[in-house]
């Protein structure tokens, strides 16, 4: 499970600080189903997520394939609790921050750049084709070894596609945002499909589906305030 966590967070990083405090969304809960397809093998994950804006606390309750609870915050503090054996794993890194989460970018109104400006990317070009707005983004020096540029495509002011090009100008990842649903407070894509191209013409396909979105007064659950038992055994 610990090896899976960064992948899951980065996938969503490709919807939850200071920007949130300016919005009408105080808390949100929803369900998630994720499928990862690679070389004919399918890995499935199901979870319920609970996010509150005032402290950036994100609780993810995994129900499949394992029953674990992951807690992150805007400081990048990570805790993974296994309820069956009462064990706890802790770590801290900026990549775990709830503010580096795709849900956060949508709730914080960062749909124009999906958080790229916050990461240090600069806008290179804007063009319009067939009613779509296409923008090209240049990475900061610290990311030159990973990206040469990132392309975003918007339709009706909402992102529908992101293309990631590696340092050699090769397209290595495509992300599609579809099935947008409008709520009184925000608009969210209910489906995200990501294609990661690896060497030898191989690829990994990740598909995420969100459902049962509840916001503010409709978001009621004791999981927002879940606390890890004090007697949990800490593991490496």
Q: Read off the pLDDT of residues 117-143 as tens digits, 9 standing for 90 and up.
A: 888 999 999 999 999 999 999 999 999
**Whether residue 6 has pLDDT greater than 80:** no
- Please state, in angstroms and rounded to a whole number, the distance separating the CA atoms of residues 59 and 50: 5
Percent of the chain past pLDDT 90, that is, above it, reads 59
Sign of the C-alpha dihedral computed for residues 144, 147, 153 and 154 taken in this order: negative
Q: Which of 56-70, 80-94, 95-109, 209-223 has the lowest mean pLDDT?
A: 95-109
Structural domain boundaries in the chain: 5-235
Strands (E), 86-202: 87-92, 122-129, 132-138, 149-155, 158-165, 171-182, 187-197
* pLDDT confidence of residue 154: 96
- Please state, in angstroms and rounded to a whole number, the distance separating the CA atoms of residues 146 and 169: 10
HSE on the CB side for 136, CA within 13 Å?
10
Given pLDDT bands bounded at 50, 70 and 90, which one contains residue 7?
very low
The CATH topology of domain 5-235 is outer membrane lipoprotein receptor (LolB), chain A (2.50.20)
- Please state, in angstroms and rounded to a whole number, the distance separating the CA atoms of residues 71 and 49: 10
Report which of 173, 172, 137, 171 is spatially closest to residue 154, judged by C-alpha positions.
137
* Global model pTM greater than 0.85: no
Q: Is 80 exposed, middle or buried (0-12, 13-18, 19+ CB in 10 A)?
A: buried
- Please state, in angstroms and rounded to a whole number, the distance separating the CA atoms of residues 114 and 99: 11
Rounded to 5 degrees, what are φ and ψ at 40?
80, -5
């Amino acid at each position: 499970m610990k090896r899976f966590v960064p992948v899951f967070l980065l996938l969503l990083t490709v919807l939850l600080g200071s920007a949130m405090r300016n919005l009408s969304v105080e808390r949100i809960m929803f369900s998630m189903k994720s499928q990862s397809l690679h070389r004919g093998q399918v890995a499935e994950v199901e979870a319920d997520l609970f996010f509150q804006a005032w402290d950036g606390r994100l609780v993810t309750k995994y129900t499949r394939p394992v029953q674990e609870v992951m807690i992150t915050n805007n400081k990048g503090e990570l805790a993974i609790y296994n309820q069956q054996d009462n064990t706890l794993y802790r770590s801290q890194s900026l990549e775990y921050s709830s503010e580096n989460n795709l849900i956060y970018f949508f709730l914080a109104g960062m749909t124009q750049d999906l958080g790229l400006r916050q990461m240090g990317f600069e806008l290179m070009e804007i063009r319009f084709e067939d009613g779509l707005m296409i923008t090209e983004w240049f990475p900061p020096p610290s990311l030159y070894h990973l990206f040469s540029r990132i392309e975003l495509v918007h339709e009706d002011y909402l992102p529908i596609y992101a293309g990631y090009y590696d340092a050699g100008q090769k397209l290595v990842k495509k992300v599609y945002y579809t099935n947008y649903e409008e709520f009184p407070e925000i608009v969210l894509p209910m489906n995200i499909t990501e294609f990661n191209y690896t060497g030898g013409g191989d690829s990994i396909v990740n598909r995420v589906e969100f459902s049962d979105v509840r916001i503010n007064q409709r978001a009621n659950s004791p999981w927002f305030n879940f606390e890890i038992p004090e007697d949990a055994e800490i593991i490496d």
